[in-house]
Structure 1
Amino acid sequence: MTISRESRHVRADPDQVRDALGLVRRSGVPDLLRNWRNDDRRRAGQVSRGGMPSWLSDEQVLTVLHLVTSSGHPQTVDSMASLILRGLDSESLTLLGLDTAGATFNEIRARVSRSLHRTLDVIDPHPGPKKLKQTFAELRRYELSLPDGLVEERKRRLLELTNALLAETYRAVPEQYRQRWQGNCCVDATFVQAFCGKGTPWASAIGDDDLVASEPFAGYYIRRKDHGVSGEDLRTMSRAERTKLGKISWGWETTLVVMAANFPDEVATFPLLVVGMNFHPPGISPGRHAIDALRRMHAAGMPASYLAGDRAYGPKPVTEDYAGPARELGYKLLWDLTEKETARTRRIQGALLLEGNLYCPAMAASEKLITATQDLRYGDAVNGRRITQAEYDQRVAQRGRYLLKPHGGIQPNGTGRFMCPAAGPAPTVTCPLRPREDPKTVGLWPIRTRELPDEHDRSALCTSISGVVTFKATSRFPRLIQDKQYGTPEWLAWYTTLRQSIESFNSYLKLGTATAMHIADRRRVRGFAAANLFVAMDVVAINLRKTERWLQDPVPVDAKGRGPTKAQKERRREKLGYGPRLPRDRGTR
């Protein structure tokens, strides 16, 4: 027995239709699409659009797509047509302004398909033919035929459109709860499988007559390295090298920015939503794509505080791509380290830079303090023995004595003022270069003369009277600087709290009972713009669902605006005396 396509219909009641229409209208997206379409017509010298009129407007297309996504059904033209023909009562059709009298399923389906592609045409960076077999030569000719700047302009439109929808879900949270969020968030990229069998061939030599993938503007994705790998690199690898990469997939990445709790020890007093996103091929400029999303959040008036990311958002991106713009937007940065970044020291204006923090140069004389993280994760260089968590905590605490103290901190322009740990009203060490008779110095850790840098190698950090140094913006500063001392319980609590918020959201996003974003068959409309829009609709649906559930039992706050203390569960490794675990090294990213 076969099941006809029209029997798999979706349903929505008038209240759901009214809410969906309100969301789309308040986001301003239909106005954006209309203005962009008019700009394109003026540029092309068209007086009128001509052709068959669209059955669905942009507003109606987005509303129907949102209703389909929220219902948990696949984001297909069939689902949209089924909703219109079978799933809406007369009141709902009136709200949408639709008339389906006398129309068959196939007629409705054809109308929906034309209307959807009319909407996508305005924001598609690659408006070429879909569902056609193309050779490399044909694809190159097509790319050369595009007007200058069109691809980047359409990507900017997609970025603005998707983030306008997310901003509206953020504003859907009642203001009394929304204002509780202080701006902590975490950024990460998650893989989106393309709806096609395989990627562009890489196992053999590529010629002009070889066919490209049906989604030619996606990319290869691997879980290791930087998540992206080119076909050229794969062709030069041996079979053993490709096997080490693990599973190789074809698709895109979506960069998501998720809200996080205000304090590590506090239950979040607001729903944790995705408030920024971007869409791009895997492994390409993660820092720059994150900043594009953060700028849209800033334009929407969202606050900024601590921003965490995995190893792709640490020292790797150049200053102009991530750290510089993030500081300008008001964020304080946290990230984890790869193996080759542990125990690596640098000198910046006389200070010792280690694992994202600035220390007194005298700390270089203590090798155990320098190699603490390396010895915990990978074992020491002599016998490979790993130190215990308790030993590591002692070494990190000792490092803290040498830590430079922020004196105004890092400014939005990339400069920063820091103070010598032996200077100021609350020193943490005593130094021969700064002798002082002060009861506060009794019992402090002494820096010995032999540990000091050579006289010709001393900077203003050691020679200035105040001990305050202004660090200039360079290729290393503030790109390599974190705002918490790496490895301390405080750093671990902040980083873990922020990272857990996005890992939890990514898991929910791919949950089979929710949107099942990891299943490409649920997004059967081809093209970069369609994939981006459908994923954005997935995120919008989850944001609204999380908000609705949170409002059923909102978290109370005290007179100071603080939420309840988070219940601390003692883990098995902590019961055995190992202490909390640092993030594991999962590769070079």
Structure 2
Amino acid sequence: MVTGETSTIPLGGRPAPTRDTSRHLPAIVLACTVHKPGRDPAGNSITARKDMRHRNYPTGWLAADHAYNAALPDSFHIPVRDLGYRPIWDYRIDQLGIQGSHAGTLLVDGTWYCPNLPQPLTTATTDLLTEKIDKHTWRARASYRLRPKAAPDHRGARGMLCPAAGSHPTVACPVKRRSLGRDPRLPLIDGTPTLAGHSEVCRRESLTFTQDIGIRHWQELDHGLAPWVHHYFRLRNRAEHFNGYAKDREAVERSRTRRIRGITAQSLLLSFQIAHAGHRKLASWLDTLQTNGLPARRRPSNRHKPKNPHDRTPSGYLPDTTPGA
């Protein structure tokens, strides 16, 4: 199933809200396919998203679980980006660490880093999860990441700046002398060349990464940092919440609610169940709003106070900065 937000509320006969609340709409299912569990999840996801594209739904961030970033590039990663989506991933513990390289740069936990990234920091997330390092040490490698130079072009190619290049370097490197002496707090790079000389990224200010380079693991947002936390967990929680909601309210997982054989009939009946679950959610949400000067019919659900995503690490929140700690 593909969940998303919509600004259309097909609740005929109900008064429309007096203020713009489109950004508060609940997540509902916009497309679905029926298939055996675990059978080509990537291909079925692309089928559903092509249908959404045909209906002119907007695209944006796409949060996917481990079943999708392990798919073959031709079956998922390339098509989903061609449709206009921007994937963000989580990784299994055996997928963490160095995932690839290009022109000397290192792909670590989905992000491109300087080739002189200290070796202990290449396994920082794994070491954090196994409690070999603390949460503050895990954050130390952010200075070594390559920075976007400009938005991707129409073919998906993107320019990335060396961390020692540009007007605001994040490391001090003797190979790029303009980065030296700017800030004594910047990490100092060991610029000793190898027998083959300096890598390409060290000889240049920026590199161009085409769409296919590191496509199975690369993502735009730094894994585990605040922007990734905000988008990934918001989208994944909405999807899982709707799954539970449809099971509780419409019993979609119980075959006895659809006493008919055949994939076509099952798909049709399941679509009605999912659509009715979405209608329930929208109706419940509308009851919490003040419409046409009338008081809300019910109180909104109680929610826990959200924690600051800047304080989160893959093993939990920083205990000394978490609200209420």
Which interval holds the TM-score relative to the shorter structure?
0.7 to 0.9
Aligned position for 2:274: 539
CA separation of 1:427/1:417 partners in 2, compared to 1, >3 Å: closer, same or farther? same
Aligned position for 1:421: 163
- Larger Rg over CA atoms: 1
What per-residue deviation string (whole Å, max 9, x for no partner) do you get for residues 469-488 of structure 1?
111233x4333211211122
The answer on whether the counterparts of 2:114 and 2:144 sit within 8 Å (CA) in structure 1 is: yes
Q: How does 1:39-188 map to 2 (within 5 A)?
A: 171-172=8-9
CA separation of 1:532/1:352 partners in 2, compared to 1, >3 Å: closer, same or farther? same
Aligned position for 1:290: 45
Greater fraction helix = 1
Instruction: Give the aligned length.
Output: 296
Aligned position for 1:322: 76
Aligned position for 1:462: 202
> 1:521: Cα distance to partner?
0.9
Aligned position for 2:122: 370
Question: Does residue 219 of structure 2 align to residue 482 of structure 1?
Answer: yes
The answer on whether the counterparts of 1:361 and 1:453 sit within 8 Å (CA) in structure 2 is: no
What per-residue deviation string (whole Å, max 9, x for no partner) do you get for residues 307-340 of structure 1?
10111122x1122222222222222211111122
| Aligned counterpart for 2:28 among listed residues 273, 281, 288 | 273
Distance 2:137 2:269 in 1: 49
Aligned position for 1:431: 173
CA separation of 1:404/1:308 partners in 2, compared to 1, >3 Å: closer, same or farther? same
RMSD of aligned residue pairs (Cα, Å): 3.2
Distance 1:547 1:438 in 2: 57
CA separation of 1:319/1:457 partners in 2, compared to 1, >3 Å: closer, same or farther? farther
Distance 1:176 1:411 in 2: 40
TM-score, with length taken from structure 1: 0.46
Q: Which runs of 5+ in 1 are unaligned?
A: 1-161, 182-267, 380-385, 557-565, 582-589
TM-score, with length taken from structure 2: 0.80
SS in 1 for 2:233: helix
Distance 1:307 1:180 in 2: 23
Distance 2:65 2:24 in 1: 25
The answer on whether the counterparts of 1:401 and 1:429 sit within 8 Å (CA) in structure 2 is: yes
User: Counterpart amino acid of 2:54?
Assistant: A
SS in 2 for 1:506: helix
Question: Does residue 253 of structure 2 align to residue 508 of structure 1?
Answer: no
Q: How does 1:302-313 map to 2 (within 5 A)?
A: 302-313=57-68
User: Counterpart amino acid of 1:469?
Assistant: L
Question: Does residue 189 of structure 2 align to residue 447 of structure 1?
Answer: yes
The answer on whether the counterparts of 2:100 and 2:214 sit within 8 Å (CA) in structure 1 is: no
> 1:458: Cα distance to partner?
0.9
> 1:545: Cα distance to partner?
1.3
Distance 1:368 1:555 in 2: 55
The answer on whether the counterparts of 1:414 and 1:478 sit within 8 Å (CA) in structure 2 is: no
What per-residue deviation string (whole Å, max 9, x for no partner) do you get for residues 132-178 of structure 1?
xxxxxxxxxxxxxxxxxxxxxxxxxxxxxx99xx99x874359999x
SS in 2 for 1:292: helix
Aligned position for 1:395: 137
> 1:443: Cα distance to partner?
2.7
What per-residue deviation string (whole Å, max 9, x for no partner) do you get for residues 503-555 of structure 1?
100101111xx111111111110111111112111110011111122122249
Ranked by relative contact order (alpha carbons within 8 Å, sequence separation 6 or more), the top structure is 2
Distance 1:439 1:449 in 2: 15
SS in 1 for 2:126: helix
What per-residue deviation string (whole Å, max 9, x for no partner) do you get for residues 252-299 of structure 1?
xxxxxxxxxxxxxxxx51121111212222222222211221122122
Distance 2:124 2:99 in 1: 13
Aligned sequence identity (%): 27
The answer on whether the counterparts of 1:327 and 1:413 sit within 8 Å (CA) in structure 2 is: no
CA separation of 1:341/1:478 partners in 2, compared to 1, >3 Å: closer, same or farther? same
Distance 2:116 2:31 in 1: 43
SS in 2 for 1:408: coil
SS in 2 for 1:491: helix
SS in 2 for 1:288: helix
